[in-house]
Amino acid sequence: MRVLSGIQPTGRFHWGNYFGAIRQYIDLQEEHDGYYFIANLHALTTIRDAQQLRQLTRDAALDLLALGLNPDKATLFVQSDVPEVSQLTWILMTCTPMGLLERCHAFKEKKAKGITADAGLFTYPVLMSADILAYDSNWVPVGQDQVQHIEVCRDLASSFNHHYGEAFVLPEPRLLSDAAKVPGTDGEKMSKSYDNTIGIFEPENAARKKIMRIQTDSRPMEDPKAPETDHLYQLYQLLASEAEAEDMADLYRRGGFGYGQVKKALADASEQFFAPARQRRQELESRPDTVDDILKDGARRAREKAAEVLARVESACGIRAPS
């Protein structure tokens, strides 16, 4: 299977990114043909500082490699290094009903918050569709918030195929049931735009402070509590070992504990969980040329595939000689 996913360099990665998406990239690279990219063209809709965007793109590459993405097994590249994707975006744009984009929740939410929408933000799902379709992707590992965009992608591909013949492969989203929507420190979806994230590579004491401030309810300590519906427990379950998570669940069901105790256990579990990645990141930082070479090689491989798909699509719709 060809597996593809992208991640925006709009800030440093957080637990939601890791458990919802990156962890899947790493698992799936073992048995499948993985294409993973840093979506800097998408990030242009929010980051207006050139130096910051370059730095965050670089950080994203280091973070992904440190977390276990293996360039010998998967293709890692930067979105803008494959211009074929932008060419494909235009072609798809001509098959995109306005109403379909107007219904996309990411756009609706930003608009509702008063963020002025430009055409880039509005047509964002079309670029995302091109990202997916350019590589004949079968599976797209993502969190719940991206599922609607993959549905848009399927609609656009089906509509093109209907007009011009079977040019595109239809992709499917891949979700992890325990982490499709990782909660943030306020219990809502963890998201850079809600300011409720805990960063993967955040300094340990800063992360600990955020963990200690996770919002909890005010039920008495002695009350038994249901672990499954508690966001603090949901986070703990992601980071602790299975046995530790089971012990904690028992404690919840018995009652007679304080949330402070759970938060401390969560901070310890997180330090332990991400310690090897922190170490690898430090090593990688001292080898900038290696990272450049990985991205260059990834872009070359990705372009080869995207050029093949673009040629097929251009022939199908009549802007290139028939193949």
Residues that bind ligand TYM (CB under 6 A): 5-8, 16-17, 20-21, 39, 42, 128, 131-132, 140, 142-143, 145-146, 179-182, 189-191
Q: Kindly report the CA angle at 244 between 239 and 262, in degrees rounded to 5?
A: 70
In angstroms, give the least distance from the CB of 279 to ligand TYM: 23
Task: Give the C-alpha distances (Å, rounded to integers) separating 230 from 89, 189, 194, 214.
Answer: 41, 13, 19, 11
Please provide the DSSP assignment of 206-249 as one string. HHHHHHHT-------TTS---GGG-HHHHHHHHHS-HHHHHHHH
| Catalytically annotated residue among 73, 110, 264, 296 | 110
Q: Which of 4, 9, 13 is nearest to 190 (CA)?
A: 13
Query: Positive or negative CA dihedral for 277, 279, 280, 286?
Result: positive
Is 181 an active-site residue? Answer: no
Pick the catalytic residue: 189, 210, 225, 305? 189
Q: What is the DSSP letter of 18?
A: I
Measured from the CB atom, the residue of 19 and 160 that comes closer to ligand TYM is 19
Whose tokens are 């499954």? That residue is: 228
Q: Which of 104/251 has CB closer to ligand TYM?
A: 104
> 91 is written with which tokens?
């072609």
**Which of residues 43 and 249 has its CB atom nearest to ligand TYM in the complex?**
43
Min CB(12)–ligand TYM separation in Å: 11
Residue among 195 and 289 whose Cβ is closer to ligand TYM: 195
Q: Which of 40, 149, 126, 130 is nearest to 85 (CA)?
A: 130
Rounded least distance, CB 146 to ligand TYM, Å: 4
**Is 296 a catalytic site residue?**
no
| Shortest CB 254 distance to ligand TYM, Å | 29
Where in the sequence numbering do the catalytic residues fall?
Answer: 110, 189, 192
